[in-house]
Structure 1
Amino acid sequence: MSASVSSAQSFAGPKGKRLYAIGDVHGRLDLVDDLLGRIEDDIADRPVDTAAVVFLGDLIDRGPDSAGVIERLQSLKHFPARMLFLLGNHEEFLLRALAGEAGVAHDWLGFGGDTCAESYGIAVSALQAMDDQRIAEILRAAIPETHVAFLKTFGDTFAFGDYLLVHAGIRPGVSIEQQQPRDLRWIRQPFLSDAHDHGCMVIHGHTISDGIDRRTNRIGIDTGAYRTGVLTAAVIEEDDLRFLATGLQPALA
């Protein structure tokens, strides 16, 4: 489904280009396939010279098939748009656990990483008594090197005309060039409640809202896909902004 949003706003994407920004997936391969199908149909119905799809991060954890999501996206071919990926806090956590960083693995498992590990055939109950280094060894043995290499290619931001795409948000009052990766991947407050002009429209995931969370300076599109079945994409084309989604069309929050 799609819906146009009409309001007076002065933000625009580059001329002749279209961008689809997709919110947090969290292991829902079924919804990824559904939404990519809708995007393919949208491109066929509304041809455009240049199209890109940007996943805003948190492809993994919480939902049932993190492994399937990564495999599908890292091997996707012949899609009628360029594919780009941002690193979410969940991917960051997994990479840190894979590196054997002290104190990370058990936190990751309790943070939704248990379902990710299970999707790679790991018995999570067996990990509980292990230390970080042993868990890292188990993870490295189970997760294909191509999947890890794919995650390591993910960026932190993507600028598209007057829009800035990030996973979590930005630190208000700090220039885009000076933003820290931790904020880009983890921030909630003071970003969510800040109403100041950032000099761009920030499109982000990370914080679940009941519908599309549209404010004067940001648009949140994490509609809780892993538990709601609603995976949302913001579609930017010059001065037009609309939305595609799986399941029931998310309302504006």
Structure 2
Amino acid sequence: MTLLKLRPALADDDVTDPAIPLVPDHMRVYAIGDIHGRLDLLTALHAAIDEDMAEHPGPDCIEVYLGDYVDRGPQSAGVLDALLARARTRRTVFLSGNHEEVMLDSLASRDAFSRWLRMGGLETVFSYVPPQPGLDEGHLWLRWRSAVRQEHIHFLRDLATSYACGNYAFVHAGLKPGVPLEEQQRADMLWIRGEFLDCQDWFGHCVVHGHTPKREPEVFANRINIDTGAYATGHLTCLVLEGGDRFLIST
């Protein structure tokens, strides 16, 4: 698997806010886009991040994961295990995506489970329990619920909705225009698209997000989208921020 590293920083557009987005001194942020069950890509990206830390030591490093760890790809349970293991040796922030929210709802509701299966949840179910011919949906729900480990449930319930660092804000989907970060609604941060994506105004922070897959990262004056559709494209993207510099690590 080829790893693409881009240095120096990505080119900046003119921003409507006079301040150039910065992270605090002596910090480096590794922001990781939507994983969607691709444990193979996450493993490769972790190796690349570790290599980058070894080649460029010094700052206090933090890894920020933007949500959508589960669904669509084949190894969602394995991805959650890998993230829990990573948190034991690294400074990490885990944000919720809309798919984690629906997975939690599905643990409590058969109706939510039925809807979830149609948005990529079936692959997650089969990462916990093997397919069994002739098993109806109701029995599949019961088997899956009994197979989900409590450690995974606690992880999903503890996910944050946003994280701010310097002039950057990290969320899964985006922010509602005109609303301060501290007043944003959870539903918007997990699900918003058009209203956020079409907005060219400054949000008070440069917003780093996923949720809307593109073949290449999108870098705008007010936001950076690093969802590169990993489950379908094989490209899982990490945005690295240090001072005013920005670069990419991608599988």
Letter in 2 for 1:2: K
- Give the SS at the match of 1:103: helix
Identity %: 40
Q: Deviations over 1:97-129 (max 9, x none)?
A: 0022x6311110010000000011143766654
Mark the CA change 1:202 to 1:122 in structure 2 (over 3 Å): closer, same or farther. same
Would you say how many aligned residue pairs link Structure 1 and Structure 2?
241
Contact persistence 1:114–1:124 (CA under 8 A): no
Residue number among 64, 74, 79 corresponding to 2:84 in the alignment: 74
Contact persistence 1:27–1:116 (CA under 8 A): yes
- 1-structure distance, mates of 2:87, 2:208: 26
Query: What is the TM-score normalised by the length of structure 1?
Result: 0.90
Contact persistence 2:129–2:144 (CA under 8 A): no
Q: Which residue of 2 aligns with 1:230?
A: 235
- 1-structure distance, mates of 2:204, 2:133: 48
Larger RCO (CA within 8 A; separation ≥ 6): 2
Q: Which residue of 1 aligns with 2:5?
A: 2
- Give the SS at the match of 2:195: coil
- 1-structure distance, mates of 2:132, 2:113: 11
Q: Which runs of 5+ in 1 are unaligned?
A: 247-253
Q: Which residue of 2 aligns with 1:97?
A: 106
Asked if 1:162 corresponds to 2:167, the answer is: yes
- Give the SS at the match of 2:197: coil
Q: CA deviation at 1:139?
A: 2.6
Q: Which runs of 5+ in 2 are unaligned?
A: none
Q: Deviations over 1:141-197 (max 9, x none)?
A: 011111111111110001010000000001111111111111100110100011011
Letter in 2 for 1:240: D
- 1-structure distance, mates of 2:132, 2:205: 43
Q: CA deviation at 1:74?
A: 1.1
Q: Which residue of 1 aligns with 2:218?
A: 213
Q: Deviations over 1:33-87 (max 9, x none)?
A: 10010000000000123100011000000001001111111123664x3122000
Query: What is the TM-score normalised by the length of structure 2?
Result: 0.91
Contact persistence 1:18–1:48 (CA under 8 A): no
Q: Which residue of 2 aligns with 1:49?
A: 59
Residue number among 219, 244, 251 corresponding to 2:249 in the alignment: 244
- Give the SS at the match of 1:110: helix
Asked if 1:113 corresponds to 2:121, the answer is: yes
Letter in 2 for 1:84: V
Moved more, 65-74 or 22-31: 65-74
Q: CA deviation at 1:225?
A: 0.4
- 2-structure distance, mates of 1:119, 1:41: 29
- Give the SS at the match of 1:26: coil
Q: Which residue of 2 aligns with 1:26?
A: 36
Q: Which residue of 1 aligns with 2:199?
A: 194
- 2-structure distance, mates of 1:142, 1:182: 28
Mark the CA change 1:109 to 1:50 in structure 2 (over 3 Å): closer, same or farther. same
Q: CA deviation at 1:138?
A: 2.8
Mark the CA change 1:219 to 1:83 in structure 2 (over 3 Å): closer, same or farther. same
- 2-structure distance, mates of 1:129, 1:148: 21
Asked if 1:144 corresponds to 2:149, the answer is: yes
- 2-structure distance, mates of 1:127, 1:213: 43
Q: Which residue of 1 aligns with 2:185?
A: 180
Asked if 1:17 corresponds to 2:22, the answer is: no
Mark the CA change 1:86 to 1:78 in structure 2 (over 3 Å): closer, same or farther. closer
Q: Which residue of 2 aligns with 1:86?
A: 95
Mark the CA change 1:99 to 1:44 in structure 2 (over 3 Å): closer, same or farther. same
